[in-house]
Each structure stands twice: as C-alpha cells, then as structure tokens.
Amino acid sequence: MPSSRRIAHLDMDAFFASVELLSYPELKGHAVVVGGRSTEAPSINAQGERTYARLRDYVGRGVITTSTYEARALGVFSGMGLMKSAVLAPEAILLPANFEAYRHYSRLFKATVASIAPLIEDRGIDEIYIDLSDIDEETESLAKRIKNAVSQATGLSCSIGVSPNKLLSKICSDLDKPNGITILASTELATRIWPLAAKKINGIGPKANEKLDKLGIHTIGELALAAPEMLIEHFGRSTGQWLHQAAHGIDDRPVVTTSEPKSLSRETTFERDLHVKQDRTRLSEVFTELCHRLAEDLARKGYAAKTIGIKVKYADFQVVTRDLTVPDALHHGTSIRNAATECLRRIPLDQRIRLLGVRAGSLLPISSLNQAPVGHQPDLPFE
C-alpha cells in the first residue's frame, strides 16, 4: 500500500555556520560567513579577547560555503566569491571551514533521528529523507519529537517538511525556515504548492528555470497546466515527463537507505593560473598528488576503477574533460596516473590552467576483482 506513504525531509538550518556558532557563541546574531581556503581561525589578542577575520580583509579566490541568516540579509549567499561578498558586507565575520566538526555533527544528528525513525536516506552532510510510513504516531507530534531530539543532541535547529513523497517534502522543509515544521496533504497541492515559483522544485536550476520563463511558465501551477508533449519537445523525453509529473506532485522514488558510489574524484584550484610549460614541475606534482589521493580514497572505500578521467578548467573558466576506459580495473596511484596522463595528452594545453582534477568511474568492489593471470598466456604471434 504505497498510497499511504509519509515521507519527511529534514534540513539543518545554516548548518556549517550554526556549528561554528557552537564554538563562538558570542557571534550569535552577527553576519558570519564560512569559507576561503586559507582563512585564518580566530585568535586571542593581548587583552584576552577573541579577534576574528573580517570579510573586507580577505584576499584570494575562495567562495562562501555557508552564511548565517544575518549575512544572507546583506545579500551574501553560498557560492558567491569572497572578494565580491566583501563589497556587500565588509564587516561580516569570516571563519574557516572545519569539515571535521561538520562531519561530527552530521553523524550526531543522523544517529539521533535514526533512534526515532531508522529509515533514513542520506542526502549529503546536512539533510536527510526519512520514511515515517510505518511509525504509529501522529505526524505533527513525531516531527516535533525528531526536531527536539536533534536540538537536544546537537544544540542545532533544523526544518522539517512532511508529505506523501520526497519531492513535496523537500519543497515543504524550505517553506518555514529556519526552525519550522510544514506538513502537507496531497489535497493541498493546488493551494500551497502551485503558487510557488517553478524553481522551488528540486532539479529545476537556473538554466531550466530560464527556459521555462521564456515559455511563459513561472509557477509550479503554470507548469502543471503545460502540455507534456510541449515539455518533452523542449527538455527531452525523460526531463519533460518528469517536469509534468513533478508539477502534479507525483513522485514515487523510494527512500534509499544504502547506495554504492558511482565515481570518486579529486580536484584543486591553483592559487594562480598555471602555465603549462613555465609551471610544468608544479603542475606535475599536483597531478601526481591528486592521483595518489584518489587512489587512497579508492583503497579506503574498497573500489577499483575501470574508467579514469581528468578535468581541466582554463583561465577563462572553460572546462574540458577526457575519459579513458581500461580493460582491467585500476586502484594504484601510479596506474591511475598513467591512465590520467593518456587523457591529458588529448586536451589542448595552449592556455593557462586554473583547475586540475582526476576522476575514477565505473567502480568495482576490490573484493570482486578478478586478478588477471599475469603473463599467464603469452601473446600469440599471429592474429
């Protein structure tokens, strides 16, 4: 009986920034942003007071990872370049990201939710879907209990949406943020969902939104009225059908509690754009380092890769990728580097390089690996 599904989406409020405020409670109520690769941690001055880096003092190519709601009010959002945000909010406090702490609180809040409702789908560090269908408790009471438990365990607030499916719950968790609960019945689709902007649907990003805009479609309700054939014409079969269903609140995706990774990657942006010949040595060091880091990641997770790919971002932000699929899965840094080098040969290197990345795809568990009999069969002298 999948018709009685009850799915929650839980989203931690301004997660990274909120975790930082646990360490620096005196910053509560201030505009704070987290980000920057070499941002200085707060230090204690001669008077024994903590001093913080200000956005206006930032120099570099970093972006904002998260900002507090006070900072967002100044027009400063995640993804924005720090140099640019410094113009908007020069006085805002800048803190370095501390991913170990975020992972700790991530595990903590997920374990806390799991003690109440165990069917959880991980959606990254700060959000989850929860299948509440088989729990015998009224929705509002259950949502409050989950929220209180998370607050107790972590000192952090979250927002929760509950509806018959993931699509609607994701929209709902955002409707009363921060620290809110939104419960939606499918009968309320037209009144509460259709008035919302189309881009509130998870999966409609800036590009699709602009395309819809040009078709005269601005709200989810307008999208629901559009002919599916027309959507298919403009967005392709799969995306077109999905858009139509989404606008009607239809989503059968299950809450997936376990999954295998499809790819692993490592990439880095240089302090300055590197010249292929002039900075050859540095480029080669970084390249090797990325390959070995990727090999470590593969080893830690127990995978080998049949496909190795590289990514280069030029000084003008143009991105190119190249892939190579090899007959036998790789997992050593050196063999990954060899494959990646093959890929690198196939790209133009006539411009300065901003970013270099290496990727491993078509992953196979190491345990399933068929150790090729080395030199077992000699090459035949004929075809």
Partner DNA sequence: CTGTCATTAGTCAGACAG
Partner DNA sequence: ATTACTGTCTGACTAATG
> Which one of 20, 121, 127, 342 is the catalytic residue?
127
Q: Is 40 in the site for DNA (CB under 7 A)?
A: no
282 and 325 in contact (C-beta within 8 Å)? no
Strand, coil or helix: what is 328?
Answer: strand
Stretch that binds DNA, among 120-128, 142-150, 154-162, 223-231 (CB under 7 A): 120-128
Q: For residues 332 and 350, what is the distance between their CA atoms, to the nearest angstrom?
A: 30
Exactly one of 164, 180, 249, 309 binds DNA (CB under 7 A); which one? 309
3-class state of residue 173 by DSSP:
helix
Residue 59 interacts with DNA (CB under 7 A)? yes
Q: How many residues comprise the chain?
A: 383
H helical segments located in 24-68: none
What tokens does 17 get? 């920034």
Bridging pattern class, strands 64-67 and 32-35: antiparallel
Out of 43, 148, 325, 368, name the contact with DNA by CB under 7 A. 325
Under the binding rule (CB under 7 A), the answer on residue 319 touching DNA is yes
From 79, 216, 378, 381, residue interacting with DNA (rule: CB under 7 A): 79
Is 239 an interacting residue with respect to DNA (CB under 7 A)? yes
In the numeric block, which tokens belong to residue 159? Answer: 């927002």
Residues 329, 335, 341, 342: what is their CA dihedral angle, to the nearest 10 degrees?
-50
Cα separation, 242 vs 225, in Å, equals: 14
- Name the minimum Å distance from CB 303 to DNA: 11
Contact range with DNA by CB under 7 A, out of 23-31, 216-224, 257-265, 365-373: 257-265
Question: Is residue 269 a contact point for DNA (CB under 7 A)?
Answer: yes
H or E stretch covering 26 = none
Among 96, 98, 362, 366, binds DNA (CB under 7 A): 362
Coil, strand or helix at 168: helix
**Site size for DNA (CB under 7 A):** 62
Residue in the block written with tokens 């499809």: 262
> Is 83 a residue that touches DNA (CB under 7 A)?
yes
Q: Does 202 bind DNA (CB under 7 A)?
A: yes
Q: Given candidates 323, 332, 344, 351, which one binds DNA under the rule CB under 7 A?
A: 323
Q: In what order do the strands lie in the sheet with 93-95?
A: 53-54, 93-95, 32-35, 64-67
**96 lies in the binding site for DNA (CB under 7 A):** no
Query: Which C-beta is closer to DNA: that of 204 or that of 217?
Result: 204
- Is residue 127 part of the annotated active site? The answer reads yes
Identify which range of 20-28, 41-49, 195-203, 276-284 contacts DNA by CB under 7 A.
Answer: 195-203
Answer for the pair 262, 365: CB distance below 8 angstroms, yes or no.
no
Euclidean distance between CA atoms 54 and 236, whole angstroms: 47
Is residue 147 close enough to count as binding DNA by CB under 7 A?
Answer: no
Please report whether residue 14 would count as binding DNA according to CB under 7 A.
Answer: no
> Does residue 322 belong to the site contacting DNA (CB under 7 A)?
yes
Q: Considering beta carbons, is residue 49 or 328 the nearer one to DNA?
A: 328
Can you tell me the distance from the alpha carbon of 353 to that of 349, in angstroms, rounded to the nearest whole number? 8
- Is the separation of the CB atoms in 329 and 369 below 8 Å? yes
CB of 265 to DNA, least distance (A): 4
Buried b (16+ CB within 10 A) or exposed e, 102-122: beebbeebbebbeebbebbbe
- The structure tokens listed for 125 are 């560090």
Q: How far is the CB of 61 from DNA (least distance, A)?
A: 3
Residue among 355 and 364 whose Cβ is closer to DNA: 355
Shortest reach from residue 168's CB to DNA, in Å: 14
Nearer to DNA, 59 or 369 (CB): 59
- According to the binding rule CB under 7 A, does residue 352 interact with DNA? no
Q: Which residues are catalytic?
A: 127
What is the contact surface with DNA in residues (CB under 7 A)? 37, 59-63, 65, 78-79, 81-84, 123-127, 170, 201-209, 235-240, 259, 261-269, 297, 307, 309, 317-325, 343, 346, 354-355, 357, 362
